[in-house]
Structure 1
Amino acid sequence: MVRIVHISCDHPDAWNAAKTPVIRDLVALVRDRFDHHVLSLNRVNAGPGFVRDLMRGASPLRDVDETGGVTAIRYAAPARGLFHATILDQLAYALVDRVSGADMIVGHKLTIEGLMVQRIAERLGIPYALSVQGNTDTRILSARPDLRARMARVWHGAAVAFPFTPWALARVEARLGRRSGPTILLPCPTATETRIAPRVTGGGILSAFHLRAAELKNAPRLFRAAARAAADVPRLTLAVAGGGTDDEVRTIRSAADRLGGGVVTLEGPVAHADMQARMHRAAGFAMPSLRESFGLVFVEALLAGCPILYPRGAAVDGYFDGLPFAIPVDARDTAAIACGLKRMVTDEAALKAALAQWQDGPGLTRFLRAGIARSFGDGLAAAAA
């Protein structure tokens, strides 16, 4: 069986079990086709003398834990990306022995893990693959023009690349050029695949996020947009599902009252098992986040029969072009958000009829685990060969 080593900063491990489960779930989808091992990276702050020692060739590797079949690794690095490539190169060389014997190595971001897997693959003479995560990868590409030539070599040298979203692929290609090798769009797998046929409910708009992330999820503009939309469509309401500390609840409730004009309510946390049923009762799901690499919640809403409003140039943008039940908006344009909210309420029947057709057609297949597993597994197999 082909042995594949994955390097990821985003895989749950013994030191941080709360990391996003996306990489773990992707690996699990193709567990039966390959022999996998994961090196899970955790950055810690560099101490005094770190730069001096680094320039003398010292490794940034600090600790290793082998618990639970995942190799958790702590490495030191200063804030703000100082010595970004140098540190990752040194860490890569420190980990070569842990990859030895692999047939292939996968780096689960272009601009961080990708730099490492290129070095390791060169040292071992094996192919490497990349995933591309829109938020981090496009931000680092923009912030580090000094590393663009290096990142271009990583991008074009990969045996296969798996961008999670079309918009992330477009931005990487705009800066680094189009690859000649295979590039496979790879949606993130959802926790549930239960489909609920859309039903016109006359309900309000739903949003959902942990209250600590309210600014990132663009809550102030969303609240203002809801108030503006309700001035034209009086039955329009916005409910926010999500928990937080007492201070966070007080802060967001105050913002909802101040900005939302009495239209916005906080529902508190909703158990994940109950979220689809809650989405199903809504006219639409709206989350015009300021940054969103993918946003599994949008696919979950569509599975629940609920149209979506999402940020243009982020999240799931590019997957639903021209489909009326998925409304892209400029996340920094309150008026545009308000127009989208009004459309979700006034056109609920038409949007949900279009969504019902999509649910029953081939468009949904690419977002289900079987389709994702096939795309990921076939891409890895071809690259390893």
Structure 2
Amino acid sequence: MPQKAPHVIHISADFPDCIEPFKTPVIKTLVRMTQGDFSHEVLSLNRVTPRVLPFVARLMRGFGRPQAAISFEPFEQGTAIRFVAPPKGLFHATMLHQLADALADRIARQGRPPALLIGHKLTIEGVVARRVAKRLNVPYAVSIQGDTDTKILRVRPDLAAEFRKVFQEAAVVFPFSPWSLRKVEAKLGQRGGRVIMLPCPTDIDAPVAPVPGGNGFVSCFHLKNHKRKNLAGMVDAMRILNADQAGARLSIIGGGSDGDVNDSRAAIGEVAGIELAGPMNRDQLRESFGTATAFVMPSHRESFGLVFIEALFCGLPIIYPADQAVDGYFDGAPFAIKVDARNPAAIAAAMRNAMTDETAIKRALAQWQNSADARRFMRPAIAANFALGMNSAIAAAEPR
């Protein structure tokens, strides 16, 4: 008899479902890439902000402890879940504990305990996964998504003890990037258990050789995010470049509403050499990246930033923010230039360097594209590492 694939339950607020189909596809891709080796089930979380009066009524009924309102709706990959919880982290642990208890009860009633639970953010889904795992006596793993997790660790020091338990007791931890692990360990202590770096997968992972003589800089983001992606910093950097580097160009790829476009144009103002190129499909994006000098996006907040990896595979050097995005993966690499996102002069200096040393930088990038280090960002390697982590977590919990 063939052995059944281990049953893994994912708890994620970032999985496209029947309630919100336009969430980021990273977790969905990880699940799809390892389907078959594992029997995946997704509990997809959707937080709903409560109306004031009903929430206050529930708060009074709970004697100051709000009572969660939770509903379930099946979809193809599992169950979409609405849970009512206030914004800004109010009653953060209280609401997550009640959600966890409801999920544990539901799983127990179904009579199919998982071999492994995975919470796909340490400070949110990880809290739920740990509590469910304790109830069901199964192992759990967590991923670290730097933007959200470091923010919550910073604003909720009162929950540090619980977050520390989530981090230290997990069978495996999957950080999306090295910088996020450093930040978490600085708050919660160095981890003794297994850690497996898990870059986010992308369909743009076939190397295209770099071509020197690029036609300028390129960035790519939805214009509604122009503040977080630091358009203002790029504009200031271009203003500095224009003073001593005639003909510098920056093309910003990405769509948005009329309001988003107007806000972005206002941020650009009269600074020369910057254009809004509008949205592009994947083939157009590859072509645009392939003809540019370098990719620049010194974001203020970025958990991973798939677009940086996509740029590298398209033959495009990158300028990325320190302590964000892909920081820690490319230390010392000439084709990946780290900058202080708060310093337009530093951004301008990196852009100037990318222009003046373009040939040498792209030569180094071409060598990297054919290395083992590049393969770690390709889907087969990511799937293999994810499977390795899940199997090791399951094996560690099996009786010997």
TM > 0.5 between the two? Answer: yes
Segments of 5+ residues of structure 1 without an aligned counterpart are none
Segments of 5+ residues of structure 2 without an aligned counterpart are 396-400
Q: 2:27 aligns with which of 10, 13, 23?
A: 23
Instruction: Determine the structure 2 residue equivalent to 1:79.
Output: 87
CA contact (8 A) 1:93 1:120 kept: yes
Q: How does 1:261-340 map to 2 (within 5 A)?
A: 262-340=272-350
Partner-residue secondary structure (3-state), 2:319: strand
Give the residue type in structure 2 aligned to 1:222.
M
Asked if residue 39 in structure 1 is aligned to residue 21 in structure 2, the reply is no
Task: Work out the CA distance in 2 between the residues paired with 1:50 and 1:326.
Answer: 52
Task: Work out the CA distance in 2 between the residues paired with 1:53 and 1:275.
Answer: 54
1:193-226, CA deviations, whole angstroms, 9 ceiling, x for partnerless residues?
2221001133100011111111111001101101
Partner-residue secondary structure (3-state), 1:367: coil
CA contact (8 A) 2:321 2:339 kept: yes
Partner-residue secondary structure (3-state), 2:206: coil
Instruction: Determine the structure 2 residue equivalent to 1:63.
Output: 71
1:286-325, CA deviations, whole angstroms, 9 ceiling, x for partnerless residues?
0001100000000000000000001100000000000000
Asked if residue 133 in structure 1 is aligned to residue 137 in structure 2, the reply is no
Task: Work out the CA distance in 1 between the residues paired with 2:354 and 2:148.
Answer: 31
Could you tell me how far 1:362 is from its partner in structure 2?
A: 1.0
Asked if residue 370 in structure 1 is aligned to residue 380 in structure 2, the reply is yes
Instruction: Determine the structure 2 residue equivalent to 1:154.
Output: 166
TM-score (norm 2): 0.93
Could you tell me how far 1:230 is from its partner in structure 2?
A: 2.6
Task: Work out the CA distance in 2 between the residues paired with 1:134 and 1:346.
Answer: 33
TM-score (norm 1): 0.97
CA contact (8 A) 1:61 1:73 kept: no
Q: How many residues in Structure 1 have an aligned counterpart in Structure 2?
A: 383
Tell which deviates more after alignment, 229-238 or 370-379.
229-238
Give the alignment's Cα RMSD to 1 decimal. Answer: 1.4
CA contact (8 A) 1:227 1:263 kept: no
Task: Work out the CA distance in 2 between the residues paired with 1:299 and 1:10.
Answer: 20
Q: 1:104 aligns with which of 104, 116, 120?
A: 116
Q: 1:165 to 1:246 in 2, by over 3 A?
A: same
Task: Work out the CA distance in 1 between the residues paired with 2:242 and 2:356.
Answer: 11
1:141-172, CA deviations, whole angstroms, 9 ceiling, x for partnerless residues?
01111000111011110000000010000000
Could you tell me how far 1:68 is from its partner in structure 2?
A: 1.7
1:106-156, CA deviations, whole angstroms, 9 ceiling, x for partnerless residues?
100000011111111111111000000000000000111100011101111
Tell which deviates more after alignment, 351-360 or 89-98.
89-98
Could you tell me how far 1:55 is from its partner in structure 2?
A: 4.7
Partner-residue secondary structure (3-state), 2:218: strand
Tell which deviates more after alignment, 11-20 or 54-63.
54-63
Give the residue type in structure 1 aligned to 2:105.
D
Instruction: Determine the structure 2 residue equivalent to 1:142.
Output: 154
Give the residue type in structure 1 aligned to 2:279.
P
Give the residue type in structure 2 aligned to 1:37.
E
Instruction: Determine the structure 2 residue equivalent to 1:253.
Output: 265
CA contact (8 A) 2:219 2:250 kept: yes
**Identity across matched positions, percent:** 47
Task: Work out the CA distance in 2 between the residues paired with 1:71 and 1:82.
Answer: 25
CA contact (8 A) 2:7 2:40 kept: yes
Q: 1:2 to 1:61 in 2, by over 3 A?
A: farther
CA contact (8 A) 1:10 1:19 kept: yes
